[in-house]
């Protein structure tokens, strides 16, 4: 859901007078509307090309299972079976994602909730919707749909490999967690095939592994009101994933207001307590879900949520462009208040 700028510069490492053959090899693949970039610090070889290709293939496989936009995916089948008395046999991948989603939902008090997707029937795609969010009929529609939302009504049985949506009309959408899971799976492929120094950048969410020529990789946090590519903090990272949820790329202009694309499932309306929330965690899947939850909760409750996950760190920007930083990132985030970009404020 977020957009990260990766400062990954090609590195040449010298040993005495001889130049290492290791370099940053970059490959890109467009996968169902998402741009995945894999950068590996290694010697060029047929084994490397195959490893990168296999990692991309694994992402595509995960997408086929978890996308609600693919008619025969596990998610689509589960949505179609909502309200059935019999659980549905699903893939181990969906079981794993739903288990993590349930944990984050419980700890966030329902701020993160994959069953939010039924609300899409009211809000559309946030870029072409012809709606009046302030009207009474629209609010009544949101209230009717919100009755179908409830993370505790998404039932999962890991031992049986089944899942069930308890009420008819429920819908799940994994946009706030599935991309992170796909990144983790791609990383597992690269490591299994012997490559440990790499970056996976999936439309801005990033996982970094190992190092590049003896140095950590660097990442930057995008300025939520700046130009594309403008950052307000940079820091070195190793063996961690980073994800950002922000209001600056997908939003709806309606009723004279700007409505972010992230829905607060507890209200049925877009979340407005933050303009961006960035989370660092060992798992890209967990970072993805936590960034969404923190964005919805706001700075105070969002930071409290992050403290409940050992090793997690966060940078949250509130609507006044105040910057809230967890202790582990304080040395790298020197600014506590951002200025608006010189361009016209969006």
Q: So where are the chain's domains?
A: 5-45+196-329
C-beta of residue 270 within 8 angstroms of C-beta of residue 263: yes
Query: Quick check: helix, strand or coil at residue 141?
Result: helix
The mean-pLDDT minimum among 41-45, 157-161, 203-207 falls in 203-207
Tell me the mean pLDDT in the region 147-157.
98
Q: How far apart are CA 191 and CA 3, in angstroms?
A: 25
SS3 content of the chain, % helix, strand, coil (to 5): 30, 25, 40
Dump pLDDT digits (tens) for 178-228.
999 999 999 999 999 999 999 999 987 999 999 998 899 999 999 999 888
Average pLDDT over the chain, rounded to an integer: 90
Which pLDDT score, from 0 to 100, does residue 180 have?
97
Residues with Cβ < 8 Å from 195, sequence gap 6 or more? 40, 42, 48, 51
Residue 150 pLDDT > 50: yes
Residues with Cβ < 8 Å from 190, sequence gap 6 or more? 38, 40, 51, 52, 55, 196, 198, 200, 209
What's the DSSP call for residue 71?
T
Which pLDDT score, from 0 to 100, does residue 22 have?
85
Fold of 5-45+196-329: T-fold (3.10.520)
Residue 142 pLDDT > 90: yes
Q: How far apart are CA 116 and CA 173, in angstroms?
A: 7
- Ramachandran angles phi, psi of 68, nearest 5°: -75, -5
The band of 19, judged by pLDDT with boundaries at 50, 70 and 90, is: very low
The band of 249, judged by pLDDT with boundaries at 50, 70 and 90, is: confident
Residue 75 pLDDT > 80: yes
Dump pLDDT digits (tens) for 85-141.
999 999 999 999 999 999 999 999 999 999 999 999 999 877 666 889 999 999 999
Nearest of 117, 153, 99, 68 to residue 283 by alpha carbon = 99
What's the chain's Rg over C-alpha atoms?
A: 21
Dump pLDDT digits (tens) for 263-322.
999 999 999 999 999 999 999 999 999 999 999 999 999 999 999 999 999 999 999 999
The band of 7, judged by pLDDT with boundaries at 50, 70 and 90, is: very low
Which pLDDT score, from 0 to 100, does residue 237 have?
95
């Amino acid at each position: 859901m977020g957009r990260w700028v990766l400062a990954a510069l090609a590195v040449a490492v010298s040993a005495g007078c001889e130049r290492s053959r290791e370099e940053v090899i970059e490959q890109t693949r467009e996968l169902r509307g998402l741009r995945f970039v894999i950068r590996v610090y290694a010697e060029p070889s047929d084994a490397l090309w195959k490893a990168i290709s296999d990692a991309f293939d694994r992402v595509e496989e995960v997408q086929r299972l978890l996308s609600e936009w693919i008619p025969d995916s596990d998610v689509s089948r589960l949505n179609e079976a909502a309200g059935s008395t019999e659980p549905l046999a699903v893939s181990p991948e969906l079981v794993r994602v739903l288990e993590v989603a349930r944990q984050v939902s419980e700890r966030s008090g329902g701020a993160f909730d994959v069953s939010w997707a039924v609300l899409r029937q009211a809000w559309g795609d946030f870029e072409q919707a012809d709606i009046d969010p302030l009207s009474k009929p629209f609010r009544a529609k949101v209230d009717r749909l919100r009755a179908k939302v409830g993370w505790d009504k998404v039932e999962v049985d890991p031992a049986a490999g089944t899942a069930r949506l308890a009420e008819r009309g429920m819908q799940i959408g994994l946009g706030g967690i599935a991309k992170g899971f796909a990144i983790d799976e791609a990383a597992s492929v690269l490591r299994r095939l012997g490559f440990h120094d790499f970056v996976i950048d999936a439309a801005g969410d990033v996982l970094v592994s190992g190092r590049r020529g003896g140095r950590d990789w660097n990442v930057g946090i995008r300025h939520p009101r700046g130009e594309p590519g403008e950052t307000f903090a940079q820091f070195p990272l190793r063996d961690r994933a980073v994800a950002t949820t922000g209001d600056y790329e997908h939003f709806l202009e309606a009723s004279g207001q700007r409505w972010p694309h992230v829905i607060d499932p507890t209200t049925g309306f877009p979340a407005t307590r933050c303009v961006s929330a960035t989370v660092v965690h060992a798992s890209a899947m967990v970072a993805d879900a936590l960034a969404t939850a923190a964005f919805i909760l706001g700075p105070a409750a969002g930071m409290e949520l992050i403290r409940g996950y050992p090793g997690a760190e966060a940078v949250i920007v509130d609507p006044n462009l105040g910057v809230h930083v967890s202790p582990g990132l304080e040395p790298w985030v020197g600014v506590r208040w951002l200025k608006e970009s010189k361009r016209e404020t969006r």
